[in-house]
Amino acid sequence: MKIPQVRTAVFFLGGPETQATNQKANFRMRINSRLLLSSVLCLLVVSGCSTRVKNMVATAETAFFGHQGVELSVEQVADYPYAAAYVGTDKFPQVVAVLDRAEGAQRVYRSGGEEAITTYYGRILTGAGIPGMPLFISHYKADPLACYAAKSLTPPAENCANSWQRYLELGNYGENNHSRWLLTSNFELGSNRSYQHPDGTQLQVTEIIEKGRTDRDTRFENTFYAVDGRIVYAKQWVSPTLGYAVWREMKAFDGDLQ
């Protein structure tokens, strides 16, 4: 059966003022969005979906808080009705986040608890409803990761920039409590390796390693796996509060496979 896509209102990156407005609007939408998602999922269950898809109702309601982590079987991933990713941090267990909207290389994912993250080639740019996630990352379109990911499709990557500097904003705009960190990092290609995708596919990926530091002397090392022009795995430092986050493509977005 063809399953309709759940769409809720989301916002793409702008400046800090735009982000403050977005946070307030997202907060007001959380209750209505959750009711919409629950209603559609209930409709799916009574429409004759398979048992595994029925089990997705419970999975889709999983939030970043108050659970022990989620890992679906290959069969469950195959039956999952939406493009989605696994997201977890050093502080919060892994959840399934459903792709809510795609625009260019930006992706907005939502958990069942209506937490949301925006990514750019697998890098987490901003989060809503998850304390400690970035509020804003500047100059994200200059991120060399985009070039390295593209070169995984058409190597070599010698023409990609190997350094990047940007500002990371943390805190809460609505409470006028936020800080700005300067991050500087360098990139290098690692080895080509085999990686098993959550859908069971064995992929040959290109490893991209990013080493950096903040202006407060915090050092970090991020790892990304690229294949066919897209990022399928990203372990990245997001903030001093959360430490590292791991984003993994769980079910690919059709637009990324073309």
Query: Is residue 76 a part of any domain in this protein?
Result: yes
Domain assignment present for residue 5? The answer is no
pTM of the entire predicted model? 0.78
Q: Where are the alpha helices (DSSP H) in the chain?
A: 16-45, 51-60, 74-79, 144-151
In a domain, 11, yes or no: no
Asked which of 27-31, 78-82, 209-213 is least confident by mean pLDDT, the reply is 27-31
57 versus 178: the higher-pLDDT residue is: 178
Where in the sequence is the domain holding 119, given as residue range(s)?
16-252
**Per-residue confidence band for 219, with pLDDT thresholds at 50, 70 and 90:** very high
Per-residue pLDDT, averaged over 131-148, amounts to: 95
Which pLDDT value is given to residue 68? 64
Cis peptide bond upstream of 156, omega within 30: yes
pLDDT value of position 100: 94
Q: What is the DSSP-derived secondary structure letter of residue 5?
A: P
Chain position carrying tokens 């407060």: 216
Q: Please give the span between the terminal C-alpha atoms of the chain, in angstroms, as a whole number.
A: 23
Q: Is residue 257 part of a domain?
A: no
Would you say residue 10 lies in a domain? no
Question: Does residue 245 lie within any of the structural domains?
Answer: yes
- Tell which wins on pLDDT, 22 or 182: 182
Summarised one tens digit per residue, pLDDT across range 63-90 is 555 556 889 999 999 999 999 999 999 9
- Give me the number of domains the chain comprises: 1
Residue 88, domain member (yes or no): yes
Burial-class residue 203 by CB neighbours within 10 Å (0-12, 13-18, 19+). Answer: middle
Predicted local confidence at residue 31, as pLDDT: 34
The CATH number linked to 49 is 2.40.360.10
What pLDDT was estimated at residue 177?
A: 84
Distance CA 44, CA 102 (A): 23
Tens of pLDDT, residue by residue over 221-246, are 999 999 999 999 999 999 999 999 99
pLDDT for residue 40: 39
In a domain, 258, yes or no: no
DSSP label of 93: -
